[in-house]
Amino acid sequence: MSIPFNKPYFTGLEAKYLSESALSGKISGNGAFTKKCHDYFENTYGLNKVLLTTSCTDALEMCALLVDIQPGDEVIIPSFTFVSTANAFLLRGAKIVFADSSIENPNIDPAQIEDLITPKTKAIIVVHYAGIACNMDWIMDIALKHKLYVIEDAAHAIDSWYKDKKLGTIGHLAAFSFHETKNIISGEGGMLVINDNNLVDRAEIIWEKGTNRAAFHRGEVDKYGWLDLGSSFLPSELTAAVLFAQLQNLDSIQFTRTKIWNLYFELLKPLESQGKVKLPGLPSFASNNGHMFYLICRNNRERNNLINFLHKNGIQAVFHYLPLHQSPYFHKKHDGRKLPHAINYSDCIVRLPFFFELKNEEIKKVAEKIIEFFE
């Protein structure tokens, strides 16, 4: 493919920090670069309490432990999401209750949530698809009324906002991803954000295999022991070193990615005006963090034909999630409710090439070929 879907971007500092980490004599987790990343997110970026993890999946699994999911507890999750969003809670024995997307964008439809709540409901998981915020005031009001936890799956949502609040700061907990397809990367990697101070101490124990080892290394206790459930959720110092190099360039990365998003939108807006595609909907309460650019075709056949046409022209465009409620693993467990918007997004979304080093002429070529297809 002459224009790939994704290409990891390296700032130039990664090799330097990897070398520093290797020469320090400590490359296991919770060392100097982990602390630098934690300090950045808590002091510079303004998050309450963070813990780096080996993946966003691990951060979500920590969320399930922290809110004490027990077998039979119910958790409301959008069907149009990655499997990790559901797996994290299924592993603790939860019953997953899938919600449909909204008609405006692939995010969960808040209007459906209250009808799905039962006495067994324990948490609402929201996914900020493409870095575009869910309607968090509405969702938090529902959660407060029914005494439920809200967990933000913010895998796409670094440096994105809901009104005057950063995504990841609103729910009780949040999970971010630094996978190589995200805005800032560490290969694999993720982060748990703890906004509920009642959960902070336990989060660190779960993070360190159920022990108070982190407190021991800070000199707060004279020995450490097994206090709780947990696992080895923390990443190596090598992962943290790569992430710290990316964080030092977050502003420039975001500036460039937003420019790419805006150019795609400008070039493809005429197709939307003609009713041939739908472009990403950006509610008045949400910001755009330049995570991905997608368009929505009128039907599945047209979507597949467009992807094939672009591939033949050296452009790697892709579709996205298959609805989890229809998956081979889950469809027999689903309660039978129709979730038409989730199915429509799955059938009709096309994600376009999007990465930091994507050139203007490449963006224009992608747009020209899409326009050519519809003509």
CATH code where residue 274 lies: 3.90.1150.10
| Alpha carbon distance 42, 185 (integer Å) | 18
Task: Output the pLDDT for position 219.
Answer: 76
Query: Does some domain include residue 34?
Result: yes
Tell me: do 169 and 281 sit in the same domain: no
For residues 275 and 356, membership in a common domain is answered with yes
Chain-centre distance for alpha carbon 100: 18
Write the Ramachandran bin of 262: left for phi over 0, alpha for psi from -120 to 50, otherwise beta: alpha
If asked whether residues 241 and 265 sit together in one domain, one would say: no
Average pLDDT along the chain, 375 residues, taken 10 residues at a time: 93 96 92 97 95 98 98 98 98 98 97 98 98 98 98 98 98 98 97 98 95 80 88 96 98 98 98 97 96 98 98 96 95 95 98 98 98 96
Residue 241's alpha-carbon distances to 30, 173, 247, in angstroms, are: 11, 24, 10
Residue 354's domain spans which residues?
Answer: 250-374
C-alpha distances in Å from residue 152, one per residue of 1, 67, 104, 125, 375: 35, 13, 19, 6, 40
Residue 243 sits in the same domain as residue 258: no
Question: Tokens standing for 52?
Answer: 């780096």
User: Looking at residue 1, what is its pLDDT?
Assistant: 61
In a domain, 1, yes or no: no
Buried/exposed code over 274-304 (b: 16+ C-beta within 10 A; e: otherwise) = eebbbbbebeebbbbbbbbbbbbbeeeebbe
DSSP β-bridge partners for residue 127? 153
pTM attached to this predicted model: 0.96
The pLDDT of residue 220 is 81
Distant-in-sequence, close-in-space partners of 287: CB < 8 Å, separation ≥ 6: 133, 160, 161
Is 98 domain-assigned?
yes
**Shared domain check, 258 and 197:** no
What dihedral do alpha carbons 279, 283, 289, 290 form, nearest 10°? 10
Question: Domain check: are 236 and 254 in the same one?
Answer: no
Question: Which alpha helices (DSSP H) does the chain contain, by range?
Answer: 14-23, 32-39, 56-66, 83-90, 110-116, 136-146, 200-207, 213-217, 237-247, 250-273, 300-312, 340-348, 360-374
